[in-house]
Each structure stands twice: as structure tokens, then as C-alpha cells.
């Protein structure tokens, strides 16, 4: 009887060690997969925002010479961006985010402020970012 117990101890130790190793291997794999998923979501978000920015710039540029009030141009550009996103399969983009992208495209565009001497001077300033931030603040 005592011989059986003594012979079983190494089996129990091996089983415990293997079980512990498997547990930690699964935990490591779970953390690795979680990290990869987060990285993929971040990369996808980055690509989405890059696409929104490109479409917004194009929409704003295409409406510069349109004979309509500024608010209508803004609404039209927003609709163009929404339509492009829908066609690409992005259906859950917040409208406020699209409007912000269109507004940013309008503010960055050289075409929209070409006749405004203040805007031209700000864009030519050597420390343009600081001047623009000070003007906003």
C-alpha cells in the first residue's frame, strides 16, 4: 500500500506541473490575442479616419465654386462624406465626427480662403500653428 502511494507521487507532481504550464500558456495566448485585437482595431480606426479626411477634403474642394450659401455647402459636403462611407461599408460613423472632419477640411483648404487677406497672412506666417491657435484662443 505504501509502495503504491510513493509510486503515485511523481505522477501527481507531473500532472500538477503540466496542468500549471497549460494554464499559463492559455493565459499568455489570451493576452497575446487581446493585444493583437486591440492593435487591429487601432489600425482600422486610423485607416477610417484617414479615409474620412481624404473624402472630406475632396468634398470641400469640389464645392468651393458652387453657387450656394456656405451652410448648404457644408451640408452637401457632409452628405457626400456620409454617402462615401456608406458605399465603403462604414455605417456606424457618428455624424458629428463627419461634420468635424468637413469643418477641418474647410479650414485647412487653400481654396476656401483664397480671397481673405488675414487667412493668407496666417498661412504664410513662419510659426503658423502658434498664430492659428492664438487666434482661436
pLDDT tens digits for 28-80? 999 999 999 999 989 888 988 899 999 999 998 888 878 888 788 888 999 99
pLDDT at 61: 86
Q: Phi and psi for 72 in degrees, rounded to 5?
A: -65, -40
Q: Which three cell numbers stand for residue 2?
A: 505504501
Measured in degrees and rounded to the nearest 5, phi and psi for residue 84 equal -65, -40
Work out how many domains the chain is built from and give that number: 1
Give me 22's grid cell.
497549460
- The boundaries of the domain holding residue 121 are 2-136
Whether residue 103 contacts residue 56, with contact meaning beta carbons closer than 8 Å, is answered with no
Distance CA 133, CA 136 (A): 5
- DSSP character for 72? H
pLDDT at 107 exceeding the cut of 70: yes
Question: Does the pLDDT of residue 9 top 90, yes or no?
Answer: no
The DSSP symbol for 111 reads T
Q: What is the pTM of this model?
A: 0.59
Buried/exposed code over 1-27 (b: 16+ C-beta within 10 A; e: otherwise): eeeeeeeeeeeeeeeeeeeeeeeeeee
Amino acid at each position: 500500500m505504501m509502495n503504491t502511494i510513493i509510486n503515485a507521487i511523481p505522477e501527481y507532481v507531473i500532472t500538477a506541473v503540466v496542468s500549471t504550464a497549460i494554464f499559463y500558456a492559455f493565459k499568455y495566448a489570451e493576452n497575446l490575442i487581446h493585444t493583437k485585437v486591440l492593435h487591429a482595431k487601432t489600425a482600422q480606426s486610423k485607416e477610417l479616419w484617414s479615409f474620412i479626411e481624404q473624402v472630406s477634403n475632396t468634398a470641400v474642394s469640389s464645392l468651393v465654386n458652387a453657387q450656394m450659401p456656405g451652410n448648404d455647402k457644408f451640408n452637401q459636403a457632409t452628405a457626400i462624406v456620409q454617402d462615401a462611407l456608406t458605399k465603403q461599408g462604414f455605417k456606424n460613423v457618428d455624424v458629428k465626427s463627419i461634420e468635424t472632419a468637413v469643418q477641418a477640411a474647410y479650414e485647412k483648404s487653400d481654396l476656401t480662403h483664397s480671397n481673405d487677406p488675414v487667412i493668407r497672412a496666417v498661412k504664410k506666417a513662419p510659426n503658423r500653428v502658434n498664430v492659428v491657435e492664438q487666434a482661436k484662443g
